[in-house]
Structure 1
Amino acid sequence: MIQLKNLTLRRGLKELFSNVNLTIHPGWRVGVVGSNGTGKSSLFGLMLKQLHQEQGDCDYPRGWTVAHVAQETPALTSSALEYTLDGDRELRELEAALRQAEDAHDGTKIGHLHGELARIDAYSAPARAAKLLAGLGFSEEKQARPVSSFSGGWRMRLNLAQALMCRSDLLLLDEPTNHLDLEAVLWLEQWLAAYPGTLLLISHDREFLDAVVSHIAEVARGSITLYTGGYTDFETQRAEQLAQQQVAFDKQQATIAHLENFIRRFKAKASKAKQAQSRVKALEKLERVAAAHADSPFNFTFDSPTHSPNPLLVTERASAGYGDTAILSHLNLNIQAGARIGLLGPNGAGKSTLIKLLAGEHAPLSGTLTPARDLRIGYFAQHQLETLRADESPIWHVQRLSPTVREQELRDFLGGFDFRGDAALAPVGPMSGGEKSRLALALIVWQKPNLLLLDEPTNHLDLDMRAALTLAMQDYNGAVIVVSHDRSLLSSTTDQYWLVEHGSVSPFDGDLDDYRRYRLTQQQDSVTDRAAASDMPEVDRKTQKRQEAESRQRKSAQKKPLLSRLGKLEQELDRLHAEKAILDALIADESMYGADKRNELAAAIKRQGELATRLEQVEEDWLAVQSDIEAIDAAD
């Protein structure tokens, strides 16, 4: 087991925690959470013997093998596959010893080493390494490429693969999802859920934590507190503690009132059952978020845009890519005011390319992109952090946008992003990635955009800031298009998804649970296809493809009248909801209860009852049609 006894740790003059006592049993999967700068990564440094405690003890079994993700990747000429195999240190040591024994013609030692290699299942190691790399997004071609040919983000994936390849007793992972796309995150969840050792995981991704960990260790207020369960369980317990503090409780109630108002607005507009169910689940989680983060240092909102043209952006037969290479083609997109769109798709499919096209960073290679006259875009991407002036302060960056605004007003605004006092005047250069991301988001919020384009906005943000960003986006009146591996943010701030794959962009009918199933099915089909392809004659493959195409056409023909019916029902639902909202407001008006309004009130109440009955019937019809469509999709 891991034991911290009366542990005190400092970094420079700052005491991170003191007199900490903590026990972690073998096989536990512990999520380590807390605001940036509280000492989470320093705790890992202590366990790796890179740091030393001020007092107390940090103990775990002497014979344990500890794996962690290296922060640097040497520019090696060896392949990605060989680099991953290097993570199994015992394998490499046995291979080196075998080469020496063979050079010395030591038959006894050669036999012994072959036995040891069999014991650790060394002969399947290349296949296991290839499977790891495939799960993290490396194609067969990429697995053969030299390490030196990969960019920084891909090198971090290689380091993660190397750590997973190690047959460890203790695995330390510090923000492993930061450089992954959603597909790789889903794969890593499954891998970690089956990991037999003890896991310590630093993460700001609540959905990832919920799927993987059995305990939460909160690093806060100079201490480490252990909670049983996933992150949602931690939020519930933390909320109960905060509710006992009056100041935190008052702030919590204000946040919950905001959420209830949002729920009312959302229910009035919801017309798709799957999306409605997904959204309600997300909002249920947000109530816990609001409570658990009631003492958050972040408090900001997006002001309503000055103009809301409709549509905001239109593309016609557009293609997007780099140089002469088109990654996306035949884009006929119409971005409506108030749209809330999440982009889904594997890494490299073109999600960021699409965002850059819409942001105006790249002109279309062909076709047209037509922005509205009063379009104002708020665009966030990680590479934009490099445009911040390293020698200037947060307040300077905002003043540059609005030179006539009083300094106190700028300070109040930046305070909502936790740039308070001297922090608002400090140079940007020495800031952490999380602080720079907060500043970049603050600059976007200040400009009151009517279209938000966000490409992985939560990288480097801690859980408090993610919760604040989620709530601010919930209340935002403009349009949103977001790419994120943070499923909590996606499900809580978007109500439709676009699938980016195979060079095109198309609506995805379903929620994130459906997308997860879709991807798992694709992976299984891919494995089956590869296994069958070598044995299947060419004529059989052609027959199979023709049959699959015929099946798709048959299903499309069967669904066509149902989809038409579904559209008409949705239009009627929108009309009925709008009429009922007007009647509800009329009946709630005190002036309607005078003697001269008696007949009008009676008619309104009668019509209200008729609308409720009709709404119930139309919703039942909608669900029946939706079930018929799903039955067609599920049919072989």
Structure 2
Amino acid sequence: LLFQRPDVLLLDEPTNHLDMPSVGWFSSFLKQYKGCFVLISHDRDFLNEQIDRVVSLELEGVRSYPGNYDKYLTQRAEEETILAGRAKNLKAERERLTVFINRFRAQANKAKAVQSRVKMLEKMDDVELYAKRNTMRFSFPPTERTVADVIRVEGLRKAYGSHVVFPGIDLTVRRGEKIGIIGVNGAGKTTLLRILAAELPHDGGNIRIGNGVEVGYYAQHHADTLDLTATVYEVVQRKSPDTPPARVRSILGAFMFSGDDVDKPIKVLSGGEKARVALARLLVKPGNLLLMDEPTNHLDLQSSEALAGSLKTFDGTLVFVSHNRSLIRTLADRIWNVEDGKVETYPGSLDEYLYSMALRRQAVAAADAGTAMRDPRGAVMPKGAISRDDEKQRKRREAENRQKRSTKLGPLEKLVGQLEERISVLESEQKARSAELSDPSVYDDAARRNKLLSDYQSSADKLEELTVRWEKSMAELEAAKAAFAAEE
């Protein structure tokens, strides 16, 4: 399809089931593509990389916003803030006029003024606030503390006939870690997770689960194995028969199944709804070790981000497979890269791991070309020097490069944080002033009213100034990040 070079591309979730290298290639292809395309995706990073306009199916109708997905969220939030402010001001004005009318209605000498305000009330327009869509809102209960080593894998071997997936690997999962498993399709990521979940037998080696560890397992195929004849409530309740019905219904409500929805048979649900049911089954009895395989597949973007936010607060241990870069960036504090029958472990975030990989690719390319190369500090490195570096030296260089990144981006990130904090404080103060201005008694005290209105306007001007500075600083920060990435 892509190499036919059509004039228009219609793309519906094109990154589903693509591994991260494939997503990277596809992203580069679309950036160079000269035609136009319409894209549906729940991959936030991919959307931000590709689109320059968002067409959003909102509850009030179809809306169009310039910019990428993050810009859309910002513009949408600004619209909601403006509407909310208008509604508050209108309510305050209505209440002020109503108080005046009720106070002076019986006085003949005020009849003209009262009638004038009655007409003003009648002419006032209503401000309709944006209706909110239901999204998943849930939190994991506190978990029981486990031993330090939650899982120990020693000499794990797995083969399918003559095809050896893992010849003998050693791994350790420690309490509280959030491990993101990445790798190309077919490398064995899902196989590894299924073995850890005891859903798939292994051919050799040992897997030791620590004392007190209760495993909760979610896989993308679980949504397709639900009992189609059962109802939503029955499927979730069967997972933990001892859970009180009220608790089951509460969990289902958090996953947007309320009222009669809980009595729907599974067979009539969409793929996304089935995925939410499977997640709800997990939440009924999650355990203190979660193993999750592509948990955001079949979920819309809002639900994916709600899931990421909830998993971030999970106080147990999490091991998950995902191609969703946004999810991995949000959650992972350790990376397992499955490749060529091995699992490389990296203690750090996805961006730090990708940065490390870029350094290594640069070193390999220089070694293959037989030329000297420069390390990120600018020093010339002679041919063959890379091969003599041991693991300790490599990690030291990577730490120095992370420090360099922090030095370059740290001041901008600090400035952005300070501006966000000041904006937050001002917004809180404005909220308090709005509440005061909505009190009719304020308008009986001219000095108090005038001061509040003056402070409100002054703070509104300051908010606008700070917002402009924040937007400029964010743009500088993003440009700095892009420049730093280009140096890699």
Which TM-score bucket, shorter chain as reference?
A: 0.5 to 0.7
Given the alignment of the two structures, is residue 201 of structure 1 paired with residue 35 of structure 2, yes or no?
no
Contact 2:237–2:248 (Cα < 8 Å) also in 1: yes
Is structure 2 residue 339 aligned with structure 1 residue 501? Answer: yes
Corresponding residue to 1:354 among 192, 200, 203: 192
* 1:523–1:439 CA distance, 2 compared to 1 (3 A): farther
Give CA deviations for 1:170-213 in whole Å, capped at 9, x if unaligned: 11101111121111111111111111111100111110000111
Corresponding position of 2:25: 187
CA 529–456 in structure 1, closer or farther in 2 if over 3 Å, else same:
farther
Q: Does the CA contact (< 8 Å) of 1:315 and 1:332 recur in 2? A: yes
Q: Which residue of 1 aligns with 2:233?
A: 395
Aligned to 1:229: 67
Partner residue of 1:275? none
Shift of 1:326: 2.5
Corresponding residue for 1:169?
Answer: 7
Residue 6 of structure 2 aligns with an amino acid whose one-letter code is S
Shift of 1:522: 8.6
Q: Where does residue 298 of structure 2 map in the other structure?
A: 460
TM-fit CA distance, 1:308: 2.4
Map of 1:366 onto structure 2: 204
What is the DSSP-based 3-state SS (H/G/I as helix, E as strand, rest coil) of the residue aligned with 1:338?
coil
Do residues 431 (structure 1) and 269 (structure 2) align? Answer: yes
Pair 1:555-2:375 in alignment: no
Percent of aligned pairs sharing the same letter? 35
Q: What SS does the aligned partner of 1:355 have?
A: helix
CA distance in structure 2 between the aligned counterparts of 1:445 and 1:553, rounded to whole angstroms? 48
**Alignment-mate amino acid for residue 377 of structure 1:** V
CA contact (8 A) 1:326 1:365 kept: no
Q: Is the 8 A contact 2:157 2:169 kept in 1?
A: yes
Deviation at 1:524, TM superposition (A): 9.4
Farther off after superposition, 428-437 or 320-329: 320-329
1:134-145 correspondence runs (5 A):
none
Tell whether the 8 Å contact from 1:296 to 1:464 is kept in structure 2 after alignment: no
Shift of 1:403: 2.6
Equivalents in 1 of 2:64, 2:276: separation in Å?
29
- Aligned equivalent of 1:269: none
Return the TM-score normalized by structure 1: 0.50
Task: Name 2:279's counterpart in structure 1.
Answer: 441
Q: Residue 488 of structure 1 aligns with which residue?
A: 326
Partners of 2:199 and 2:232 lie apart in 1 by 24
Identify if the C-alpha distance between structure 1 residues 304 and 321 changes in structure 2 by more than 3 Å, giving closer, same or farther: farther
Distance across 2 between alignment mates of 1:561 and 1:508:
10
Q: Is the 8 A contact 1:293 1:467 kept in 2?
A: no
Can you give the 5+ residue segments of structure 1 that lack an aligned partner in the other structure?
1-161, 250-291, 533-546, 567-633
**Conserved 8 A contact 1:227-1:234:** yes
Unaligned runs of 5+ in 2: 88-129, 370-381, 401-486
Deviation, 1:307, is 4.7
Instruction: Give 1:341's aligned residue.
Output: 179
| Deviation per residue, 1:424-476 (Å, 9 max, x gap) | 11011121111111111111111132111111111110011111101101110
1:488 Cα deviation from its structure 2 partner = 1.1
Q: State how far apart, in whole Å, the 1-side matches of 2:355 and 2:363 are.
A: 12
Amino acid paired to 2:388: R
| Distance in 1 (alpha carbons) for counterparts of 2:392 and 2:316 | 37
TM-score in terms of structure 2 length:
0.64
Letter matched to residue 202 of structure 1: I
SS of the residue corresponding to residue 201 of structure 1 reads: strand
Instruction: Name the structure 2 match of 1:240.
Output: 78
Name the SS of the counterpart of 2:241 in structure 1. coil
The one-letter code matched in structure 1 to 2:234 is W
* Deviation at residue 367 of structure 1 after TM alignment: 1.1
User: Closer, same or farther in 2 for the Cα pair 1:300/1:351, shift >3 Å?
Assistant: same
User: Would the aligned equivalents of 1:324 and 1:365 in 2 still touch at CA under 8 Å?
Assistant: no
The amino acid across from 2:53 in the alignment is H
SS at match of 2:172: strand
Tell me which of the two structures has the higher relative contact order, counting C-alpha pairs closer than 8 angstroms and 6 or more residues apart: 2
Q: Distance in 2 between matches of 1:555 and 1:181?
A: 31
Q: CA deviation at 1:516?
A: 4.9
CA distance in 2: counterparts of 1:402 and 1:382, whole angstroms: 20
Query: Is contact 1:189–1:212 with CA below 8 Å preserved after alignment?
Result: yes
User: Aligned partners of 2:131 and 2:156: how far apart in 1?
Assistant: 43
C-alpha root-mean-square deviation of aligned residues, in Å?
3.5
Matched-pair contact (CA < 8 Å) for 1:320–1:357 = no
Q: Distance in 2 between matches of 1:324 and 1:374?
A: 37
Structure 1 residues 561 and 320: CA distance shift in structure 2, 3 A: closer
Residue 418 and residue 321 in structure 1: after superposition, are their counterparts in 2 closer, same or farther (change >3 A)?
farther
User: What amino acid sits opposite 2:69 in the alignment?
Assistant: Y
